[in-house]
Structure 1
Amino acid sequence: MSWKTSVCEANNIQIHYTRTGGNKPPVILLHGLMTNGLCWTMLARELEKDYDVVMPDARGHGQSSAPEVGYQYNDLANDVVGLINVLRLPSPILIGHSMGGMTAAMVAAHQPNLLRGLILADPTFLSPSMQQEVYNSDVSDQHQQILNMPLEAVMAAAKVRHPHRSAEMIEIFSRARLQTNMAAFEVLRPPNPDYSQLINLITIPSLLLYGDKGVVTTEVATHLQSLNAKLQAAQISAAGHSVHMDQPEKFTMMVKAFLDTIVN
């Protein structure tokens, strides 16, 4: 694997990223909370033959800067815009999961001329009451405890939760978890951006992929499609919030098919 890692300075922080490289159409993969760019390794391997895949670590994650403040979705979106501009990526396609999905939707809604296409993998399109519920939950307390655990213990617990994931991915995700700064949880503070307004503003070809046991429901997907003729949506069965990890073959197939329609 000849992937390169580097750091670029954008939006007043250091953004660490992994890149497959080559003179090919660029695709940027945006991860969710408590993960990092390398957590997209499986998809990147499937795409690298045809695409220059860029996998940044969001602020507070991986090896990127972890400032004390600045974790609203607006900040995360500005980081992505900065990355695109500094690396001079021509019309990239954004693929984002969870927090990365909401971030990608923000970029697509407010900087439409920057992008060629958009794929949202079960983005954090939560109702106001659910946003509050998540924010009030013990998710950050649990993470504080995990930060005090050795890697081996984090990996052992992950293996129990995800028995079907490979040892390689268990390790990648566990290392990413231990690299997630507590400040990053500030992104959970309500209110999130209004996702209906964002979808309404998007003018590029877009695809929403969601599981049958995740965040986005069929009702929400149908509603969003009614707002924007550019948006396609597809449900992947037997998949939860981590739709790209629960059904990697189906997810990859749908991603490739969509990319073919906008690149070729």
Structure 2
Amino acid sequence: MLPLVALHGLASTSDEWDEFARSLPPAWEFIAFDQLAHGSAAEMTGDLSREAHVAHVVSQIRRHAATPCVLVGQSMGAHTAMLVAAHHPQLVSALVLIEGGVGGEGPEATTDVIAWVRTLVDDQGEPRFDAVALARAIQAVHAQQFWEDWEQVSCPTLIVRAQHSFIANEEHERMAGRPGTRVALVAESGHDIHLARPEPLARIVIDFLREAIAA
């Protein structure tokens, strides 16, 4: 059984992976959990540094998944997944980064993202997420580029890029220069590929992992 652990992005929850998970082979063990300051972990807002996110994921992997596992992340979750693979290589056999990059977009990107987060409300008009906490979390991603961490990743890696990507093409091209890395494009897709195109995304991931495992 292939263990696959999925990390959601900012202002999301683990259940956003449901359609994607249903498109995977039934023999694969799929594990998803809420990230710090989100969903069932909404009260975990003390330390929201990149290191804290990595430590949280590492603890969840060790608790719930056989290792090494395949680690999949989308957006901010992809950034966290990259750092986990870089600093805990014994836990990760393969890495899938969906609409993720090395970060460093700057404070204006944080302002824009949090303005969007504040528009997300539930049926009663209440905020779905703690915008202040999420600002602290994403600010750490936007504050600097993590190229040195990216170069430390040693496992086979798939970068999945949307046709209308949030990530600069030049950034993904540079990332693709690391040995063992490939890039796949999902047509007719935006940043949330796992929501809009779960089946094509699953096929791309399945093909990559079957080849990576066979190698």
Q: CA deviation at 1:64?
A: 1.9
Equivalent position of 2:107 in the other structure = 132
SS at match of 1:215: coil
Separation in structure 1 between the aligned mates of residue 201 and residue 51 of structure 2, nearest angstrom: 27
Structure 1 unaligned segments of length 5 or more: list them: 1-23, 155-176
Separation in structure 2 between the aligned mates of residue 184 and residue 120 of structure 1, nearest angstrom: 21
Higher relative contact order (CA 8 A, sep 6+): 2
- 4+ residue segments displaced more than 6 Å: none
Q: What is the TM-score of this pair, normalised by structure 1? A: 0.73
Equivalent position of 1:56 in the other structure = 33
Separation in structure 1 between the aligned mates of residue 119 and residue 150 of structure 2, nearest angstrom: 37
Separation in structure 2 between the aligned mates of residue 201 and residue 81 of structure 1, nearest angstrom: 17
1:17-48 CA-to-partner distances (Å, cap 9, x unmatched) read xxxxxxx2210010001111110001111225
Does residue 194 of structure 2 align to residue 244 of structure 1?
yes
Equivalent position of 1:10 in the other structure = none
Structure 2 unaligned segments of length 5 or more: list them: none
Separation in structure 2 between the aligned mates of residue 145 and residue 35 of structure 1, nearest angstrom: 13
1:109-133 CA-to-partner distances (Å, cap 9, x unmatched) read 111111110000001544x4x3311
Does residue 9 of structure 2 align to residue 35 of structure 1?
no
Q: CA deviation at 1:51?
A: 0.9
Contact 1:207/1:231 (<8 A) preserved: yes
Contact 2:4/2:30 (<8 A) preserved: yes
1:109-163 CA-to-partner distances (Å, cap 9, x unmatched) read 111111110000001544x4x33112223x435534544x426x79xxxxxxxxx
Equivalent position of 1:6 in the other structure = none
Equivalent position of 1:174 in the other structure = none
Contact 1:96/1:103 (<8 A) preserved: yes
Separation in structure 2 between the aligned mates of residue 245 and residue 86 of structure 1, nearest angstrom: 27
SS at match of 1:213: coil
Equivalent residue letter for 2:37: G
Does residue 151 of structure 2 align to residue 200 of structure 1?
yes
Contact 1:214/1:242 (<8 A) preserved: no
User: How do 1:68-107 residues align onto structure 2 when only pairs under 5 Å count?
Assistant: 68-87=45-64, 89-107=66-84
Separation in structure 1 between the aligned mates of residue 146 and residue 183 of structure 2, nearest angstrom: 15
SS at match of 1:209: strand
User: How do 1:1-264 residues align onto structure 2 when only pairs under 5 Å count?
Assistant: 24-47=1-24, 49-87=26-64, 89-126=66-103, 128=104, 130-137=105-112, 139-144=113-118, 146-147=120-121, 149-150=122-123, 178=128, 180-182=129-131, 183-190=133-140, 191-192=142-143, 194-226=145-177, 228-264=178-214
Separation in structure 2 between the aligned mates of residue 124 and residue 192 of structure 1, nearest angstrom: 13
Q: CA deviation at 1:100?
A: 0.5
Separation in structure 1 between the aligned mates of residue 2 and residue 45 of structure 2, nearest angstrom: 35
CA RMSD of the aligned region, Å? 2.2
Q: What is the TM-score of this pair, normalised by structure 2? A: 0.88
Tell me which structure has the larger Cα radius of gyration.
Answer: 1
Separation in structure 1 between the aligned mates of residue 144 and residue 26 of structure 2, nearest angstrom: 35
Change in Cα spacing, 1:87 to 1:229, as seen in structure 2 (3 Å) is same
